[in-house]
Amino acid sequence: MKPSVLILCTGNSCRSHMAEGILRAAAGELIEVHSAGSKPAGYVHPKAIQVLQEIGIDISAHTSKHMNAFLEQSITTVITVCGNADQACPMYPGQVNRHHWGFDDPAHATGTEDEILAQFRRVRDEIRLVFGAYATGLREGKSLP
């Protein structure tokens, strides 16, 4: 059984889903990747789906889930991607590691359609950089799942 990584955010609509998709694409053969929220929005933001499709990652089948849905599962690592989730995060059975890597919430972006999409792309690229490095560390055995 592969170690499980749970990525948490408040709404589980943007950042956590982008991180889940990116990490699964980068290291899915090594780990199980999930995402959830402390106050799930009930949907995955269409622009998050769009900007991940631009880099060849399909998260269109993802659903917004509550973090308590994972309390009965063995979670090796919890990664929070927003401050509110970090503060609300419970301990999970088997949890060994906890990381907090905060990112701006692109769902709060304002402006024209192009300006809003630019914010989603910027956050996607930041998440891709951080979670790509994490996946490289896993692959090289330099970090624990």
Residues with a catalytic annotation lie at 9, 82, 89
CA distances from 105 to 1, 45, 102, 128, 145 (A): 33, 11, 9, 15, 25
**Residue 60: which residues within 8 A CB-CB, separation 6 or more?**
44, 49, 53
Q: Torsion-angle region of residue 112: left (phi > 0), alpha (psi -120 to 50) or beta?
A: beta
Cα dihedral: 45, 50, 65, 42 (round 10): 30
**What's the token pair of residue 140?**
């090289």
